[in-house]
Structure 1
Amino acid sequence: MERMWAARDVGLVVARQNGKGSILEARELAGLFLPRFSEKTIIHSAQDFATSGEHFRRVAALIQDTPVLNKQLKGAYEANGKERIELKNGARLLFKTRTKKLGRGFSPQLVVLDEAMFLDNDSMMALRPTLSAQPNPQLFFTGSAGLEDAHEFGMVRQRALKALESGDLDPYLFFAEWSAEVCNDFCLPGCDEHDSLDDEEVWAKTNPGYGIRISYETVDNERRADPTGEAFKVERLSVGRWPVQGDQWSVIDEKAWRARLDENSEVEAGSIKVLAVDVSPNREFSAVAVCGSNGHCLHVEITSGELSVDHRPGVDWVVRRVKEIWDQAKPDAVVIDKVSQAGSLIDQLEHQGVTVISPTTAEYAQGCGQFYSGVQPRRGEVADIVHIGQPTLNSAVAGADKRMLADKWAWDKKTSASDITPLVAATLAAWGYRKILFEKPKAATPFFYAGLDDI
């Protein structure tokens, strides 16, 4: 029986100039020349012609400069996008730029996807079937840290993280990554719990070629040339902004969210109450949330009626439902982000006598940070938000991702793993509550509040 690889899929994440190409050269040469591998067709692909062509020239030079290999060479053909190396025994190494037709018409035993952070779904859909009939195939994903659109590479990485966290090894995957754990958006100045961008030991641990291929002076100059450190983190420390890819609890920790559960919490009668509305970018879902004091903390909840929670498909129901709550529960205001899809509802609500307030972009970002701190406080802060464990809000928090806004951040509806309109609505409601409480204080008036289920 033919020998099987210990891993069919191989993933490598490492910063540039650390020798990743040498690993690929060794693997491809082994596939071509070692009889035990006997790989007749190997495909090496990269995002663009220049990268693929450079790798072709390096492999060809290694063969031509090694007599024992060169005498087996039939030819190294450089033909403007159709580079290939062929041996006298018929084995060949093909160099391809990635397209929607990658791999079609071939039956490779090995495929190398270099610069995998730029790999798209169309290329993968074309490629996978070409390997399915091979008895011993292997697929390499290699590249530097991925950004928000690195979905295919991100899925490989997520497989590795899932196996690491669960202790349940993936029998088909080998994955290696050299990266730093730097401060996130929620760390306070002077944080000593994460890797420092200016620590030479961090440079060494994230660059296996440090002191060999990469000098102190090179990295030090890169750091000095990037005062913000954003590019340095990605390109030299391999700190990616990977897509969520179905990952859960990537912003708010699950334990922190569960710790803020209070099933008996409810808005205190006579206290300030603020509603908020959010609509998904494609207007597929909408949500209505409320925030008020329970006497100790800020209570956030997705409102509900007799039949359902107010997280429902479409938009047409929203104005009618908000007006119903406005008339019955008499909240102090309704918060809507006017630049979101929900902004189209403002005129209709105001026409019906509903008071609508809207945050600026900066205020919305501050509200996102306040919501995070209210659930998962940083050192020196106190958690002040509670919820009642509604599945729709739990799901939104679990699947949420964030996007950067200058020196702040906000929830990202595009890259989140689920519909996060309930979370956005709850965030806006909490922001509105604080705004009214601190900017427009008023004495509470007698009010009977029987609970949201009775609205």
Structure 2
Amino acid sequence: MASKTNPSTPRLSEAARVLNIPEGITSSGFGRVRRVAERLDIHFDRWQEGIGTLMLAKRADGGYASSVGGIGMSICRQTGKTFTVGTIIVIECLTHPGLKVIWTAHRTRTSAETFKSMQALVKRPGLARHCKAIRQTNGQEEIAFANGSRILFGAREQGFGRGFAAVDVIIFDEAQILTEKALEDMIPTANAAKNPLIIHMGTPPRPVDPGEVFAERRTAGLNHDPDSVWIEFGADRDCDTADPDAWAQANPSYPHRTKPTAMLRMLKNLGEDSFRREALGIWDQDSEHAAIDPELWAQAATVERKPGGWTAMAVDMPPHRGWITIGACQAYADGTAHIDIAALKGVRRHGTGWPIAYLAERWPRLAAVVIDAQSPATVLIPPLKAAGIDVTVTGASDMGKACGRMLDMLQYHELTHKAGRQPLDQAAAGANIRRIGTGGAFGWNKLGSDVDISPLVATTLALHGAVTSTRRPGDEPEQRMIELP
């Protein structure tokens, strides 16, 4: 970062899209930090000073105003967050002997990059003499100061953070990928500290990210939690991603520090959707709840599917076994697909035997019939096999791939669905995600007790069957999609 403050840079109140300030602030420790920084020839922009003032804001008893609720920052890439937060933390270490700081990222690569940036910072003239040692062992890095203060760096994916005690400052970098388990492991480490600071900073999470923790921080900020700080930078949801005005709205470092070429490079290499989240700070609508973006789902609706392709079907039942859904998918050689509900009937009126005859009649023209191993619909597998149908039974790994495939195809406009199918629309609107294993896979879950996601599960599995099956039966040039009675 440059050493001269640009007086034309915006204040935090002008730059932040959302700003929640805790109640009862009487002072801030940032004044001391700024004076030390100036002696070291380090200068902050006005919005960075605002962040520092809120980070170190105190109440009358001397405790940090955000000590209970924490500090959350939804901050875009290429804004200088490591410089801003890192400089403040380093100076706090210099002025508070024995301070213990944990800086943790989700990925090893991110942790390593942060450590490298912080090494460069402490090697600046005036700071180097206060640095006792820089250590790197077993994937855990440390900057140790002559006065006993320490900053430890590590990746949560490697288990870093467990076992520490009396930690004064915890920084959760990449907070959009912060799991409840990691939070539970690390928050108790600050319980013995006299005046702890807990900082969450990241970009808006993707639907597949375990972003619930970060989203909860955001919800608290939006609801004006009196004990927490929430700072959110972002452009308008409907902005043109190539518009420099949107870049300036989202990134207070643009254009005096973050140059246009850097933004264009991100736009070209990230793709528009990732660029909206990571460079423009735009949160998905209801991303803290819904798994499927309602805008993408609406864009994928179509009255008629295109001709051709091959058909697969899948069966699912909700846990209460009140009805049975048969989902259908028409897949095409160009990699696109169309999903629909083929049939949906109540068990009380129609029983459980009707799918056998329904699918047996159509099996000669189907590429696959799919049922998930965890579904109550597994009771249909023996009679379906007895009817000569080769049922594909999916496991957890298959479900993870199927759900990820559906989201990806929606994102890249490769998937359509029949417009006006209310059960499927309701399922898509009411679906959350559940984690499968530790590798980032997920399956559909429901948001509330009144939501039935079995139509979504059935069509997702039908898509999986259509894409993965090599069976192409029949000589007909076109196979007809079964319409809902």
TM-score calculated relative to the size of structure 2: 0.54
Q: Given the alignment of the two structures, is residue 173 of structure 1 paired with residue 228 of structure 2, yes or no?
A: yes
Matches within 5 A, 1:29-428: 29-34=90-95, 40-46=99-105, 47-48=107-108, 50-62=112-124, 65-66=125-126, 73=130, 75-80=132-137, 81-88=140-147, 90-98=148-156, 99-151=158-210, 153-161=211-219, 164=222, 168-180=223-235, 194-224=238-268, 229-239=272-282, 247-248=289-290, 251-252=293-294, 277-278=315-316, 288-289=324-325, 303-305=346-348, 321-323=351-353, 338-341=369-372, 345=380, 348-349=383-384, 351-352=386-387, 369-371=416-418, 373-374=419-420, 385-386=421-422, 397-400=429-432, 414=443, 416-417=445-446, 421-424=453-456
SS at match of 1:140: strand
Equivalent residue letter for 2:346? T
Deviations 1:343-389 (A, max 9, x none): 975783375599x9xxx999x98998435x42xxxxxxxxxx456xx
Structure 2 counterpart SS, 1:195: coil
Deviation at residue 399 of structure 1 after TM alignment: 2.6
Greater mean alpha carbon deviation, residues 102-111 or residues 329-338 = 329-338
Separation in 1, partners of 2:220, 2:291: 13
CA distance, structure 1, for counterparts of residue 367 and residue 348 of structure 2: 21
* Aligned residue type for 2:454: P
Counterpart residue type for residue 202 of structure 1: A
- 2:86 maps to 25
SS in 2 for 1:142: strand
Q: Which amino acid aligns with 1:414?
A: G
Evaluate the alpha carbon distance shift between residue 95 and residue 215 of structure 1 in structure 2; reply closer, same or farther with a 3 A threshold.
Answer: same
In the alignment, the residues of structure 2 paired with residue 400 and residue 332 of structure 1 have an alpha-carbon distance, to the nearest angstrom, of 34
Cα distance in structure 2, aligned partners of 1:124 and 1:395: 30
CA contact (8 A) 1:116 1:143 kept: yes
Give the Cα separation in 1 of the matches to 2:354 and 2:383: 14
Deviation at 1:200, TM superposition (A): 1.7
Note closer, same or farther for the CA distance 1:218–1:426 as it changes in structure 2 (3 Å cut). Answer: closer
Q: For the residues of structure 2 that align with 1:61 and 1:441, how far apart are their CA atoms?
A: 69
1:277·1:336 contact (CA, 8 Å) conserved in 2?
Answer: no
Change (3 A) 1:150 1:5: farther
**Alpha carbon RMSD of aligned pairs, Å?**
5.2
3-state SS of paired residue (2:226): coil
* 1:22 shift after superposition: 1.8
Partners of 2:81 and 2:168 in 1: CA distance: 21
Any gaps of 5 or more consecutive residues in structure 2?
A: 1-60, 299-312, 328-340, 392-401, 435-440, 464-478
For normalisation by structure 1, the TM-score amounts to: 0.57
Contact 2:72–2:230 (CA under 8 A) maintained in structure 1: yes
- Counterpart pick for 2:74 among 3, 6, 13: 13
The 1:230/1:416 distance shift into structure 2, 3 A limit, reads same
Q: Deviations over 1:287-319 (max 9, x none)?
A: 51389xxxxxx999662418xxx9xxxxxxxxx
Task: Return the alpha-carbon distance in structure 2 between the equivalents of residues 74 and 116 of structure 1.
Answer: 28
Q: Partner residue of 1:267?
A: none
C-alpha contact (below 8 Å) 1:45/1:52 kept by paired residues:
no
**Unaligned stretches of 5+ in structure 1?**
183-193, 257-274, 292-297, 311-320, 375-384, 403-411, 432-437, 445-455
Paired residue total:
342
Aligned-partner Cα distance in 2 for 1:84–1:181: 39
SS in 1 for 2:63: coil
Contact between 2:167 and 2:192, CA under 8 Å: does it hold in 1?
no
Letter in 1 for 2:228: L
Which residue identity does 2:324 align to in structure 1? V
Structure 1 residues 52 and 196 mapped into 2: Cα distance closer, same or farther (>3 Å)?
closer
Distance 1:251 1:285 in 2: 28
Aligned residue identity for 1:423: P
Alpha carbons 2:356, 2:384 under 8 Å: kept: no
Give the secondary-structure state (helix, strand or coil) at the position aligned to 1:414: strand
Work out the CA distance in 1 between the residues paired with 2:320 and 2:442.
12
Aligned pair in 2 of structure 1 residues 417, 12: CA closer, same or farther (>3 Å)?
farther
- Quote how far apart the aligned CAs of 1:24 are: 1.3
Q: CA deviation at 1:94?
A: 2.9
Deviations 1:84-120 (A, max 9, x none): 22243x3333333434251513311111122334545
- Are the counterparts in 2 of residues 150 and 243 from structure 1 also a CA contact under 8 Å? no
Residue 133 (structure 1) shift: 3.1
3-state DSSP of counterpart to 1:83: strand
